[in-house]
Structure 1
Amino acid sequence: MGRKSPYPEDFGKDAVALYRAAAGKRTYAAVAADLGIAGESLRTWVRKNENQAVPGRRGTGGEVDEPARLRAENAGLLKAEQEWRLEREILRRAAAYFAREVK
């Protein structure tokens, strides 16, 4: 087991978020240099964060989560489509009602 980090846990989370915000534009070393920490520390925090994204799985983390994310997104889109159809039907009926009232 390794030694405890001298940095607060929140600092590590913020550093990971900063690295991810760079989204491939900056290296571990560049972000770490800005924060005044070692590049390997940042790399370790990013890897730990990826492993926590999928409980029980070590490795990249993103691939396993992708199908679940897509299913949830699809369910949200289907719900939005159902709401849109209902709204459209209500407006169609309201237009027909007011058209009869005008005549």
Structure 2
Amino acid sequence: MPAPRNHPDELRERAVREVRSTGRPMAHVARDPGIHQESLRCWVRQAEAGERDDWLTTAERDELKKLRKENVGVRQANEILKAASVFFAQEIDRPRTRPSRGAPLGE
């Protein structure tokens, strides 16, 4: 459940609009209505994120994180398979010598 909002939506929108339209520093804009500067910074970032197409959504970020983790596992499995194939290729290429008929096995 999200935290209760301390400031009405209208105040948020007005403060964000003022930062974007006037170019005044966020600290100055936040001081007038008594908003904390970091709160205003977060509101401005949220407004920008909603307008930009080149930023990832939360769902996309979560999927990317999952796929990167999966990719690490696939790369590790691939390295293991490469090492195993080299090992078995060497075993196949190794010349086999037969023990002589009179010699006991294991000597």
TM-score norm. by structure 2 comes to: 0.46
Higher helix residue share? 1
TM-score, length-normalised on structure 1? 0.47
Larger Rg: 2
